[in-house]
Amino acid sequence: MLWALWLNDQHKAAKLHLEFDILKSAPVNAKITDGNGKERIILREFLSPNKLYTLDAGYREYKLFQEIIDANSSFVARLQDNVSWDTI
């Protein structure tokens, strides 16, 4: 997998982007990219209705959150501790 040499000899990586269906107990979509692959871009490719996406803080982009809602899905996301919010 020579394409995984994304930075230099000390930084080699491949990244697996995986969509897992808990009810089926099986992966339903996957894509392998170089270690510098952009998670948010791949998630946008995977978006589909009736899903619950669990996201790490690296996915924090409010436009992406809205795109998930617009795709008729939901999300749970971990945010950095410096985010501000209003309780509705």
Helices 39-46 and 62-70 sit at what angle, rounded to 10 degrees?
10
57 found inside a domain: yes
31 found inside a domain: no
26 found inside a domain: no
Residue 80 has pLDDT above 60, yes or no: yes
Residue among 60, 53, 54 at smallest CA distance from 79 = 60
41 found inside a domain: yes
Domain tally, the chain: 1
| pLDDT tens by residue, 23-64 | 899 999 999 887 777 889 999 999 999 999 988 887 888 899
16 found inside a domain: no
Q: What is the pTM of this model?
A: 0.75
| pLDDT tens by residue, 5-29 | 556 666 677 888 889 888 899 999 9
Q: Which domain holds residue 53?
A: 37-88
12 found inside a domain: no
| Enclosing H/E stretch for 65 | helix 62-70
